[in-house]
Structure 1
């Protein structure tokens, strides 16, 4: 019997019996999980490279593996932006009103000099007035250069333009100027200054346009003398020049700014870069080479980095499973295969969301039901494993759902997945009804939306208001999708892998189940016994960290085989003779031990999970039927013949308990039957009886094939004692000093 026992080493069950305990299969599954990690992460971490030649036609369509800068398109966009820049002009105030004042002052002084003839004055004016105008401009330019008030290009442009638009005073005006008196000039000054100021306040690109307005302004002025009006008109036209000049430097600077402000043009991820059959021109070949999309030179560093990352993730999971020491996860290959499938489903859901993601809509990633893996692991396998897997899911999501080009991991999605996964585990790991999964999904939705809102605030409103609302909506919908998928996948995993989840156990504990209804109606005594065993075994199992719910439900079905011959079992014999009194002990033994085998067959017929069947088959182990053995000995002695049987013929066929749950149910079964046989049990009787039952089974090697420890057996003994006294409180006789009320005890002490 001992050779059938699978031994444990570092958390794994080792056995040569079947693929479920094969070491080769186990490590093959971990290799498969590593391959899954590699395939799922390679599109994000490994750059695609193509083996193409210059001046050939592409055999395949090449799409951008990531967001790639398009320098050619960017340069074109920059030039277009520069071309759209309007020429920049600069207004340069030359204070031409001062020039016209100085000209009139010079005329006043020269006209008052009687030593100079009229004709000489005319000649002086013909030479001096244009020259003063030129000198005024030269002096302005020179002073501007010395003070760096304007750029060289702008001053050159000013000189050139004013020179081109120089006004030539008619000859007759020079003849009329000497006729002006001082009084005339006094009247002319304010009029001339006002006209110049008024016209030069406007932006003048063409001086001729402004000069055309002078005649009208002079005609409406206060001047009445014809000569004065004509001279003011001509002098004003002379001093009026352009004041708006093309600024080459400012225009170039604006073009530079336009180029710099032009955003970089990108080829979006997934966008077609090269069509199938397109000619690979030298320019296109260079572009592909610059973006490292050609297989010109071998670079194994990214592959090595990804392999090391995959090895780290896989080895971390392997190490956790080996050394976590959890009791709820039995570590057989069937469960490891289920774990691989859970990872595959979770990764596929992330990939689908990533396929819909774009740089403009990164929030679509929150729609992925990322908590589905943690929820399934928590309910189907083990809660501590679920917490560890949540960390792996967060790492995978931060890579797969990352839309940032400058980082490998996106903290936003990693943190989001970690929070919703932990919430999912907390909300559903003890789920006893399918509706609890929906409630858990709502919890995931609420906490997911809250996490997104917090991240948005911490990022300083990195998303727009509308984008934030979309992110909140997608995260909320992702939680509901998670609940729907888990509800749909749970029956698949339970049926395919024979997993007995808490949900399934609660369903099996329903009294309306056909077998439990049969047990109640046909064998009410056995039914009551099974319920009591369920209460005892559940308390004991939870005390040692075993599956208490499995013990309780398994206890309900452990004696279902008694329904085939109900009256051969004492709990169903009400006011009737015991049929065993009239039959051979060997036949009685066969009937008694058959109930375990019959129960397994009935449970198989109704397709109950294997852990329930195991409890029904193993709860008696290979225990010895003392009563019928000794009865057979007495009969043989009475007949005066040697016994043709041994003790082994009066044992249950087994197998012995293979799990803690089967062992605990077997102990609770014996304890309940023993307590029920006592008329007025006392505390000391119960303690002695429980210790005797456990010691008897321990001495009989009934626990050799399960992993119960001596310490755990002590805990089981103590818990059963407390539970029995709680259940049978009214029947147990306590010592006198224990039965005295507290008030009376206090009086005695006093």
Structure 2
């Protein structure tokens, strides 16, 4: 039955189930804090409260509208001076051609058709095509003085207009202005009209649309538009405001409208829980603790987590109360204080980090994000301070003192948060914040004191506090050993000193080994005089009984002691040490004595302790120290060399006998145990000066 229970302690399926239970507890307690909020609103209704966005998201429709507006940039035009110069050059060519034809005709009587033909030959093809005969003929028929005037007026007007920007849009306007000004001249009508026609045909656009620069400018304007964001915490619609289509779109983007099931938040929470559970698993596997090897202890951790997370969850519901800083009343340190008291500091610190993350989710009710970083920081500081202020020796009296110090740290943490926010707080608000922070530490210590007996009695677990209480000499069982078996009591104290030092040298629980050593021989109180350390000025009763009966009496002290300890409901670890400290070793003295008296060889199994062998390092070390102390005490003149030889021999014999096969003691650790025990023994059995005997003289009267 006992072997079956020990196997249950290490079944991996149970261990994985417990880690799964932790994950389920975290998921269920945080689930309501991540369910997306959905609003029951309709178009053109009035908002019954201020509605803020829970997330930061881009409003793509509004962004595209802004970009479309930005794309409406003015077209970019470029002035081309070469066009103006080209038109002036054409005018000069025209008048130069007219002058040349007229000079060639001086003294010749040629027809106007022939002159017109010669002029077109001199003009460029484009100019010849532009100028009609009706325009050129009056110019060829004009006097030279008139031609000079026409040339001067035309060039002047065209230059004035083309120097400015002429686009397609204002081309007709520019031509009309030229016509109006040239119409004021006193030239004959046909020459005036020809001059106007030449001037108007010379005016062309010199200010053109630049498509590349226009497109570049448009793209730059579009890229300059920042995305229209709905920021986390931004008020989308104020209380009493109309919910129009634009507001409805913003509410939809923020995920505040009931549009069916959205699995993303649930998947995110599952990933968070898996991350935290994996973090716990790998930490628990690396750290030296009873959680790694005992499913019962892991179950206790699960219960503490459940209790702490439930307390955090219930406290988070108080946020609905309109009291400033009510959330700071959360007794955040209770979980880490319990784990520190029942297990060790490393597990407590790791658990404090997990509680802080979970608290960040629990207390997200008054913020728009998924986690309340301020409360997470507060819970972390409170949890860690609860661990550190308990001290190395976890006396129950330290719990209240630690609670007061936790309150102080809570007040400092709240002050830090308020100052970092740089808000304006009234004296009443500050008082509320500080009072709730103080009550948090006080409640943490009260809950720890209240829950400690439940875990200790309900699971018979061995906490540092419980060990210290059990080491009190006034404990009924220790007083029983002292009164009824004083020799055994002294032996147990010596074994305790050796065991504690040896266990601490290999990283085992030294305090557990010391207390276990105090009780390991409690079974000797049933028949105290059958054990040599209690035989004072009396005959050895074993001399009058058979070796088999002596064997039965001696061996029974281990099982009797375990039964007595169970009856008094001492922790399982103490019971195991009493039951396992001899393992299955051979009772050599009575075995050899029985063989001497018997006619045939007796099996060793008949004179071996029933076991079980040591299952823990502490039980193995107590067994080593028990055997060594008894052996050294029986030496006539112990010296360092003889003691070392004896110690090494005892450990080697136990190793070869397989007494350490069921515990995880390594050869290196056994060497450390031997070295530490030798140092302690040498300190006890050091050399002393022999004082001369004072001869008393008989005085005669």
How many residue pairs match? The answer is 502
- State the Cα deviation string for residues 676-733 of structure 1 (Å, max 9, x = none): 1123211111111111111111111100000011111111111111111223336699
Q: Does 1:717 align with 2:646?
A: no
- After TM superposition, the score normalised by the length of structure 2 is 0.67
> Which residue, out of 575, 586, 600, partners 1:613?
575
Moved over 6 A (4+): 52-55, 285-291
| Separation in 1, partners of 2:464, 2:5 | 30
- State the Cα deviation string for residues 322-367 of structure 1 (Å, max 9, x = none): 2x14145444221222112111111122122211114964521111
- State the Cα deviation string for residues 209-255 of structure 1 (Å, max 9, x = none): xxxxxxxxxxxxxxxxxxxxxxxxxxxxxxxxxxxxxxxxxxxxxxx
Q: How big is the alpha-carbon RMSD for the aligned residues of Structure 1 and Structure 2?
A: 3.2
511 and 730 in structure 1: CA distance in 2 versus 1, 3 angstrom threshold: farther
Q: Does 1:454 align with 2:411?
A: no
286 and 412 in structure 1: CA distance in 2 versus 1, 3 angstrom threshold: closer
Shifted more, 663-672 versus 339-348: the winner is 339-348
Residues 93-242 of structure 1 mapped to structure 2, 5 A cutoff: none
Contact 1:683 1:732 (C-alpha < 8 Å) held by counterparts? no
Q: Does 1:306 align with 2:269?
A: yes
553 and 266 in structure 1: CA distance in 2 versus 1, 3 angstrom threshold: farther
Residue 23 of structure 1: how far off its partner (Å) = 2.1
Contact 1:680 1:731 (C-alpha < 8 Å) held by counterparts? no
Q: Does 1:674 align with 2:627?
A: no
387 and 266 in structure 1: CA distance in 2 versus 1, 3 angstrom threshold: farther
Shifted more, 608-617 versus 30-39: the winner is 30-39
492 and 334 in structure 1: CA distance in 2 versus 1, 3 angstrom threshold: same
Contact 2:333 2:383 (C-alpha < 8 Å) held by counterparts? yes
Residue 461 of structure 1: how far off its partner (Å) = 4.0
Give the match's secondary structure for 1:670.
helix
Unaligned runs of 5+ in 2: 54-234, 691-701
578 and 16 in structure 1: CA distance in 2 versus 1, 3 angstrom threshold: closer
Contact 2:51 2:236 (C-alpha < 8 Å) held by counterparts? no
Residue in 2 aligned with 1:174? none
- State the Cα deviation string for residues 274-333 of structure 1 (Å, max 9, x = none): xxxxxxxx9xx99997985665333211111111111111122122222x1414544422
Contact 1:562 1:569 (C-alpha < 8 Å) held by counterparts? yes
Q: Does 1:547 align with 2:536?
A: no
- State the Cα deviation string for residues 626-681 of structure 1 (Å, max 9, x = none): 11111112222xxxx223x2111111111000000000100111111112112321
> Which residue, out of 542, 556, 561, partners 1:594?
556
Residue in 2 aligned with 1:509? 471
Residue in 2 aligned with 1:604? 566
| Separation in 1, partners of 2:574, 2:347 | 24
Give the match's secondary structure for 2:326.
helix
Contact 1:374 1:386 (C-alpha < 8 Å) held by counterparts? yes
Q: Does 1:36 align with 2:25?
A: yes
Give the match's secondary structure for 1:607.
coil
| Separation in 2, partners of 1:328, 1:440 | 25
Contact 1:38 1:306 (C-alpha < 8 Å) held by counterparts? yes
Contact 2:289 2:343 (C-alpha < 8 Å) held by counterparts? no
Contact 1:328 1:547 (C-alpha < 8 Å) held by counterparts? no
Residue in 2 aligned with 1:356? 318
Unaligned runs of 5+ in 1: 6-14, 56-63, 71-261, 268-281, 734-750
| Separation in 2, partners of 1:67, 1:372 | 37
| Separation in 2, partners of 1:338, 1:661 | 21
Residues 245-264 of structure 1 mapped to structure 2, 5 A cutoff: none
Q: Does 1:491 align with 2:453?
A: yes
Contact 1:69 1:266 (C-alpha < 8 Å) held by counterparts? no
Q: Does 1:575 align with 2:537?
A: yes
| Separation in 2, partners of 1:397, 1:67 | 26
Contact 1:420 1:448 (C-alpha < 8 Å) held by counterparts? yes
- State the Cα deviation string for residues 463-501 of structure 1 (Å, max 9, x = none): 444323322221111001100100010010111222100
Residue 401 of structure 1: how far off its partner (Å) = 1.8
49 and 338 in structure 1: CA distance in 2 versus 1, 3 angstrom threshold: farther
| Separation in 1, partners of 2:386, 2:489 | 37
Residue in 2 aligned with 1:369? 331
| Separation in 2, partners of 1:38, 1:732 | 71
